[in-house]
Structure 1
Amino acid sequence: MMTTAPAARPANPNFSSGPCSKRPGWSLEALKGAALGRSHRSAVGKAKLKQAIDLTREVLEVPASHRIAIVPGSDTGAVEMAMWSLLGARGVEVLAWESFGAIWVTDAVKQLRLPNTKATVADFGKLPDLAAVDFENDVIFTWNGTTAGVRVPNADWIPADRAGLTICDATSAAFAMELDYDKLDVVTFSWQKIMGGEAAHGVLILGPRAVERLESFTPSWPLPKLFRMTKGGKIDEALFQGDTINTPSMLCVEDYIDALQWGRSVGGLKGLIARADANAKVVADYVARTPWLDFLAEDPATLTNTGVCLKIVDPALTALPAPLQAAFAKDLVALIENAGVAYDFGAYRDAPPGLRIWCGATVEASDVAALTPWLDWAYAEVRSGLAKAA
């Protein structure tokens, strides 16, 4: 076991799963063109918002058939905007295999209290049986389980001739994975994920089937202003041209534009995916040679390339009571954070004890590689302390 601290450190110690690390080379200078002190409804404000929408379409390769809007409340706001506006016309099936998917279950079952609602929930590390999903219903799911490190491998399980809508929370998948927009009627994400933008803003992408639902169906419940996407029974096209429902931060918009321009400079979507894949491969290679650590995801085909979740599998530790296992993982993370080496890479609070290393495109593979020896060092240190206490 390693007993001395490694000499090399990550150049960038930020491994948070959201807000994620800023792009390589970022500085406050990137925000000098922000429309500060100007109305978001001024010509310059609208132009900035439209630029952000247009760059989103370009970098994500969103087809012309789909509308894109900037909405309040981060990804949560975007998902709930879709749920409150679109659901109720037919049965609903909500799929969950991690913490945020569980929130959408709560929204559908306990808040909206929709009739004919089915919750299909799998344990952390697993996907539910996707072949059993009934697409006569509207289906809500996360493409990538942010807190479990498990993603759907593709959209083959979604039929083209489905009757219901698909509402996809893609907040830790967008900009790192191929999304099949023909199979997705609603896509949501927050730009603080993946691209390292600042928080509180969501992006909502609507396909033609979702628009048709909005224009043909009115929910039985009242809609708050922040959720309203139609006027006079028709889709509010201005929303999808940058005329936001409420006041966005033009500083955050400028930062997102900068991140998108960087994304375009590294090869667009394919380049961003390649960067995330390279980062995740560093972790995979490390796990392959590390006996005390394994992926939380049980099926390699479902393994994410963004928020890579790991569990400690040392038999001496897994035999301990759950609170002691959790304390061990937290102590390991704290030791590295206190050394100023890496930050925010512990497992999500609702997830099984372990680590979550963000491998999205704004992270450098060299920094992930520099982190791994520190994991071995911290593991040895904390385990030694545990042995002495015993």
Structure 2
Amino acid sequence: MPQRPVRKPARPFFSSGPCAKRPGWTLNALDGALLGRSHRAPEGRARLKEVIDRSHSLLEAPGDWKIGIVPASDTGAVEMILWALAGERPVDVLSFESFSGLWAQDLRDVLKLDALTVHEAPYGALPDLSTVDWSHDVVLTWNGTTSGVCVPGADAIPAQHDGLVICDATSAAFAMDLPWDRLDVVTWSWQKALGGEAAHGMIALSPRAVARLEQASPRPLPKIFRLTNKKGLIDAIFSGDTINTPSMLCVEDALDGLRWADAIGGLKALKIRSRANFEAVARWVAQTDWVEFLAAEPSQRSTTSICLRIVAPWFAEQDIATQQKIVKTLTGLIADEGAGFDLASYRDAPPGLRIWGGATVETDDIEALLPWLDWAYESVRMEYSV
């Protein structure tokens, strides 16, 4: 039996959503929650508007962009804009992991767009961005939460493009640079990079996106998807008047995360913390012979959803079901020790590991986790290899 490590992470929470709470978080952070009050009351609207304003400032979004709170997390935000706009002009969509694949599936099989081009790539890679037609509307996921593959930078998108660029940024916002001057719609959720509670999404619209929404011939939509009415954009959504009833407990938690981020130095500090977490994993991968990054191209490796594949020959010889069982056993050993939770890859991804490296995770905890991965690997290797 391999030697069991001694040191454990102080906060062994590495889930890629909902993600770890910010350092020092306790339930006392929610003491000021506006419970038992209406979100339509002036105080409720003020809290919701504060989430919007703080998000706008922290993300360094342009002043003329509109940001609003919408139902159903990032999924709701993406679906809302696709149902509102898709089909006004041809659409190109990047499909390279679970959620980007879902957007492609919805555009193709549910909305049944005639003028649709799906650019596909397997887990661990991005589609060839040079084949994208930027005169079309383009739907892309900035960071593949389930693959650990991200868009390498602003230059991937032309500065001038005729269509709208619709960006699912849920595991990139608050951790990576987003080129606001090259995007038109950006979505994210509270449950990712700042560790907020689930169920609420955010949508940011450029002036070009607002103009398209107001000029579009909308398809019939349920109330929770409507961003416009006969008068144009529903501006109230972007000042704290939410479409449906939000949880004021979740609102307070979102504010706590945003205030913490401001207190430690804003977006720059968040990116530094996430990069340090990634680099700790990268150093370990470089000296470990049984694991590699799922993302083959270094410039495309995510600093938040750090996805790893097991490359040991004995593991590769197993069928997928057995590989999944091995990963479940490996991560279960670590969880049983209280040394790390939620470390298995996403259910649709290749069997492997996934470590959340966003800014709410401490690098010391990442470093304390890594010997446990080696320990658990050696434990299962002894059982399965011959």
* TM-score normalized with structure 1 length: 0.97
Report the 3-state secondary structure (helix = DSSP H, G, I; strand = E; otherwise coil) of the residue aligned with 1:308: strand
Give the deviation of 1:157 after TM superposition. Answer: 2.4
Report the 3-state secondary structure (helix = DSSP H, G, I; strand = E; otherwise coil) of the residue aligned with 1:156: helix
Counterparts of 1:154-303 in structure 2, within 5 Å, are: 154-219=153-218, 221-303=219-301
The answer for the alignment partner of 1:378 in structure 2 is 376
Deviation track 1:255-294 (CA, whole Å, cap 9, x = no partner) reads 0000000011111001000000000111000000100010
Give the deviation of 1:237 after TM superposition. Answer: 1.2
The answer for the alignment partner of 2:358 in structure 1 is 360
> CA–CA distance in 2 between the matches of 1:373 and 1:32?
37
2:155 partner letter: D
Cα pair 1:306 1:359 within 8 Å, conserved: yes
Cα pair 2:87 2:115 within 8 Å, conserved: no
> CA–CA distance in 2 between the matches of 1:278 and 1:159?
30
Cα pair 1:86 1:210 within 8 Å, conserved: no
In angstroms, what is the RMSD of aligned CA positions? 1.0
> CA–CA distance in 2 between the matches of 1:362 and 1:157?
28
2:260 partner letter: W
Q: Say whether residues 1:305 and 2:303 are aligned partners.
A: yes
> CA–CA distance in 2 between the matches of 1:345 and 1:181?
32
Gapped regions of structure 1 (runs ≥ 5): none
Give the deviation of 1:4 after TM superposition. Answer: 1.7
> CA–CA distance in 1 between the matches of 2:50 and 2:167?
24
2:257 partner letter: A
Cα pair 2:306 2:356 within 8 Å, conserved: yes
> CA–CA distance in 1 between the matches of 2:192 and 2:344?
17
Give the deviation of 1:353 after TM superposition. Answer: 0.6
Q: Say whether residues 1:337 and 2:317 are aligned partners.
A: no
The answer for the alignment partner of 1:39 in structure 2 is 38
> CA–CA distance in 1 between the matches of 2:5 and 2:156?
45
Identity %: 55
Deviation track 1:326-359 (CA, whole Å, cap 9, x = no partner) reads 2212211111111111100100000001000000
> CA–CA distance in 1 between the matches of 2:20 and 2:62?
28
Cα pair 1:10 1:371 within 8 Å, conserved: yes
Aligned residues: 386
1:45 partner letter: G
> CA–CA distance in 1 between the matches of 2:192 and 2:319?
34
Deviation track 1:114-141 (CA, whole Å, cap 9, x = no partner) reads 1111111100000000011001211101
> CA–CA distance in 2 between the matches of 1:217 and 1:321?
49
Give the deviation of 1:233 after TM superposition. Answer: 3.8
The answer for the alignment partner of 1:69 in structure 2 is 68
The answer for the alignment partner of 2:59 in structure 1 is 60
Report the 3-state secondary structure (helix = DSSP H, G, I; strand = E; otherwise coil) of the residue aligned with 1:140: strand
